[in-house]
Structure 1
Amino acid sequence: MPESSQTIAETVSAVADGHLDSRQWVEHCLERVRNNEALGSWSFIDEARALARADQMDRIRKDGSALGSLHGCPIGVKDIIEVKAMPHGCGSPLMGQVSDQNAVLVDALEAAGAIILGKTETTEFAFLNPARTKNPHSQEYSPGGSSAGSAAAVASGDVPVAIGSQTNGSVIRPASYCGVYAMKPSAGIIPRIGVFEQSPTLDQMGLFATSLEDLALVTDALSIHDSRDPHSIAAPRPSCFQGACSEPPMDPNFAILTLPYSKLQSRACTEGFRELADTLEGQVEVLEAPPMFEELIRAQRIIHMTEAHHAFDRLGFVGSSDLSRILAKMLEEGKTFAQNEYEEALEIKASAGSFFQSFFEDFDAILSPSASGEAPLLSEGHTGNPIFCTVWTLAGLPTLNLPIMQGENGLPIGLQMVGRQRDDARLLRTARWFMTTLFDEGEA
């Protein structure tokens, strides 16, 4: 069986050398899934498909054919991502049809040798209405959302990596609550064709893992151009795995911004950041966030709600009694914005991109909370506030969750590290330096 401390690359190497079969790896993960069933991380598991695929990967190894970077690796994908012959549930009774083809990113994973175990739970249509999933650290608490099942599946050891999506804070926030590494790459790095569309301008893909190296390896496998996706980058991609394994040419410089919503931070989160700034000493500057940040928050809301209303209207779902009250209310809000407000919001988004391009000429990364603090209780009926991710997602910047802090209740609190757009490899290199230097995690 793979050791819990092994990276995906190390385990794939063991498979390649014949020390471990793909089938053994998959069987181990399926047993974990069964043992953790009470967490509600999965909406659908196809054991037969996964084991047949594992046997296929083992035959490929034995006959001397080429092996992929993810050869035999079990993976979960959020249930808004289409997988052929699996139900496309999207966390709603309005969906559930069996997909007749894979999303592009699923094809990319399988081309690298990965094995899809099944679909992880999502909040309703990846919005705010909570999923049934529980936090693996304490089942009274929320795992966050909307990629609830993907975060919980990795945190509980069901799979070494799981795929999620982020339109506001749906990867980084649940990673913070569940205490795992996560990455939302730059907008346009991972193609979105075959993923339920909420907001074509803002929807981005992300992933959860137990190390920076694993995040980087899988991001590289997913980093392909798809001309059908209007935001897919038709240019050479950053080599994330190389970045995650490299040393920076000089010690990096960081910025901590005093955000207009900092008052939402818990005491533990605020104290953790104060200690972090003291530890970094001359390598960090604490700066006031520019006044435009509040404008950016509103722009994101206008774009998100307007495009969501259009998307659900095209499907004939607006006004359906099968929508939760919270989603129905958000869709109603989406139709209240005038066309000129929407166009102005898009212009504000573009200005944010220009601002951050200049900002990162002086800094390697921004340090920010991933969330306001620890996970909320399930009894509170929500998945937490995504506001600490909103600006970075709007600007399409690459972000990481680093699980380094702990709150008053002993639950995880993540640090969010933000980089320059399309400079994802540099962000991973900076994060490796950060974890190795400050936390002595050479295998982060």
Structure 2
Amino acid sequence: MSLDLTRAPVHQTALRLKNGQLRVEQYAKALLARIAARDPEVHAWAYIDHEYVLAQARKLDKIPAEKRGPLHGVPVAIKDIALTKDMPTRYNSDIYRGTTASSIDAACVATLRASGALLLGKTHSTEFAATTEGGPCVNPHNVKHTPGGSSSGSAAAVADFQVPLALGTQTGGSVVRPASYTGVYGFKATWGAISREGLAQYSITCDTPGFFARNVDDLELLAKVYDLEDIPSTKFQLQGARIGFLKTHVWDLAPAGPSLQVAWEKAKDLLTQHGAKVEEIEWPDADFEKLTKWHLAIMNGEGRSAFYGHYVLDKDNLPSFLIDQVENNNNISRLDFLEALDGSARLRPIWDRFSTQYDAIITPSVPDIAPEGLEFTGDASFCQPWSLLHAPCINLPGFAGEKGLPIGLTLVAGRYHDRQVLDTGKTIGNIFEKEGGFNSSL
């Protein structure tokens, strides 16, 4: 039986690409065929040039083995808010609809290119990665439902086997939420661990690059390329591990829906059966419940400056949501903004210390399955605290929600424990995928 390259784990395929057992052009053709067959329905891609992809693949195939980079020929999709020197960057905005390629790459894109990756194309985002209104992209598991946002196309393309890896960004819940809705791994790095230069800015306090993959080993390839280093931590062992389940205040605020409630209890049961010591835990300080309102204040405060240039350039083509931020129609005062900045800064080291009391901490990714319809990309309130706390986190897929749609849970740690999150996520994620109950029909 021949290998289906669209479904092969890329950490295995990468070895074959590097030693010449597999040609980059062959791999690219397999993915482009999948895209041609599926994307007219999924609409994951904002820009892709098949002939250009094949030309780049042939160039990579000509590189001598000894000069091939760590990601030689590995296909990666780029969220269309990152500058790319060979593809247009349009931010899903009418203001930039007709623009051509930039003269430079965003720093995180330049790292991928220098590592030998095959940049396959640009994936759909909500407008400026800031609005909650869906674009053309749908959930590949059920096209009547949203894939989430703002990294809609990146999550959908990975879930639909159109690409093995994709770049996303998270300011509120734009990596973790779509990963949960589409049933893939979505990893948000520690804030500041990966450069944001050349990415559309919303909040300098929260904007963070992240990635999508169908397994953790593939994410580890990227962690190595971006040189993510941890504060030293021990190797995760599930047997006897102390695992905290943190509902947070959002459980009642959102509130938690039926699919989340079922996944939550099943996750606790599974980890207990595998030898972990599971316990429900609470926030270590009452002020953590203020993170929701503080996140809103910071989004409004920093959104005013982030979108002011677009407002001056072409207000008529800016969505009302962003106009409201520039004009401060939400009436966020400077005192509100400063309280949010200073309050969240105080909580970060408290969270870092608290998280070390547990071998792993699990928290919800989303309130429920992906909402029906494309008008709304879903509730990010479970994700917002981790964006504001600058904590690394990963959506762990595997659970089946209503209508057969996937739902995941988040593994989170203290700052600069990115590799620990991946190592722990691999062990726990394997259990959730095998025993959580979700079976993809894709």
Q: Could you say whether these structures have the same fold, taking a TM-score greater than 0.5 normalized by the shorter chain as the test?
A: yes
* Residue in 1 that maps onto 2:260: 269
Contact 1:186 1:422 in 2 (8 A): yes
* Residue in 1 that maps onto 2:398: 404
Secondary structure, in 3 states, of the residue corresponding to 1:163? Answer: strand
For residues 55-95 of structure 1, the C-alpha deviation after alignment (integer angstroms, 9 at most, x for no partner) is 121111xx343222211011110000011132111011112
* Residue in 2 that maps onto 1:384: 378
- Does residue 321 (structure 1) correspond to residue 325 (structure 2)? The answer is no
Looking at structure 2, the residues matched to 259 and 360 of structure 1 have their Cα atoms a distance apart, in angstroms, of: 14
Report deviation, 1:238. Answer: 3.5
Mean Cα displacement is larger for which, 389-398 or 65-74? 65-74
Contact 1:318 1:328 in 2 (8 A): no
Q: Which amino acid counterpart does residue 141 of structure 1 have in structure 2? A: H
For residues 328-379 of structure 1, the C-alpha deviation after alignment (integer angstroms, 9 at most, x for no partner) is 3344447733333222211111112111111022012221111111100115
- Does residue 237 (structure 1) correspond to residue 237 (structure 2)? The answer is no
Report deviation, 1:125. Answer: 1.0
Within a 5 Å distance, the mapping from 1:238-387 to structure 2 comes to 238=230, 248=237, 251-263=240-252, 264-281=255-272, 283-289=277-283, 290-317=285-312, 320-333=315-328, 336-378=331-373, 381-387=375-381
Mean Cα displacement is larger for which, 361-370 or 412-421? 361-370
For residues 203-250 of structure 1, the C-alpha deviation after alignment (integer angstroms, 9 at most, x for no partner) is 001110110011121132234xxxxxxxxxxxx72499x99xx65497
Secondary structure, in 3 states, of the residue corresponding to 1:206? Answer: strand
Q: Which amino acid counterpart does residue 242 of structure 2 have in structure 1? A: N
Contact 1:129 1:327 in 2 (8 A): no
Q: Which amino acid counterpart does residue 101 of structure 1 have in structure 2? A: I
Report deviation, 1:46. Answer: 2.2
Report deviation, 1:275. Answer: 2.5
Report deviation, 1:440. Answer: 5.3
- The TM-score normalised by the length of structure 1 is 0.89
Within a 5 Å distance, the mapping from 1:122-133 to structure 2 comes to 122-127=125-130, 128-133=132-137
> For residues 390 and 375 of structure 1, do their structure 2 counterparts lie closer, same or farther at Cα, with a shift above 3 Å needed?
same
Report deviation, 1:439. Answer: 5.4
Contact 2:196 2:209 in 1 (8 A): yes
* Residue in 2 that maps onto 1:33: 35
> For residues 435 and 126 of structure 1, do their structure 2 counterparts lie closer, same or farther at Cα, with a shift above 3 Å needed?
closer
Within a 5 Å distance, the mapping from 1:119-268 to structure 2 comes to 119-127=122-130, 128-223=132-227, 237-238=229-230, 248=237, 251-263=240-252, 264-268=255-259
Contact 1:360 1:420 in 2 (8 A): yes
- Does residue 108 (structure 1) correspond to residue 111 (structure 2)? The answer is yes
- How many residues align? The count is 423
* Residue in 1 that maps onto 2:71: 70
- Does residue 22 (structure 1) correspond to residue 24 (structure 2)? The answer is yes
* Residue in 2 that maps onto 1:233: none
* Residue in 2 that maps onto 1:85: 86
Report deviation, 1:20. Answer: 1.1
Contact 2:301 2:337 in 1 (8 A): yes
> For residues 46 and 317 of structure 1, do their structure 2 counterparts lie closer, same or farther at Cα, with a shift above 3 Å needed?
farther
Secondary structure, in 3 states, of the residue corresponding to 2:245? Answer: strand
Unaligned runs of at least 5 residues, structure 2: 436-442
Contact 1:129 1:326 in 2 (8 A): no
- The TM-score normalised by the length of structure 2 is 0.90
* Residue in 2 that maps onto 1:226: none
Secondary structure, in 3 states, of the residue corresponding to 1:371? Answer: coil
Looking at structure 1, the residues matched to 134 and 201 of structure 2 have their Cα atoms a distance apart, in angstroms, of: 19
Q: Which amino acid counterpart does residue 426 of structure 2 have in structure 1? A: R
* Residue in 2 that maps onto 1:54: 57
Looking at structure 2, the residues matched to 312 and 17 of structure 1 have their Cα atoms a distance apart, in angstroms, of: 46
Secondary structure, in 3 states, of the residue corresponding to 1:165? Answer: strand
For residues 9-67 of structure 1, the C-alpha deviation after alignment (integer angstroms, 9 at most, x for no partner) is 2101112232210011111111111112221101100223322221121111xx34322
> For residues 334 and 170 of structure 1, do their structure 2 counterparts lie closer, same or farther at Cα, with a shift above 3 Å needed?
farther
Q: Which amino acid counterpart does residue 387 of structure 1 have in structure 2? A: S
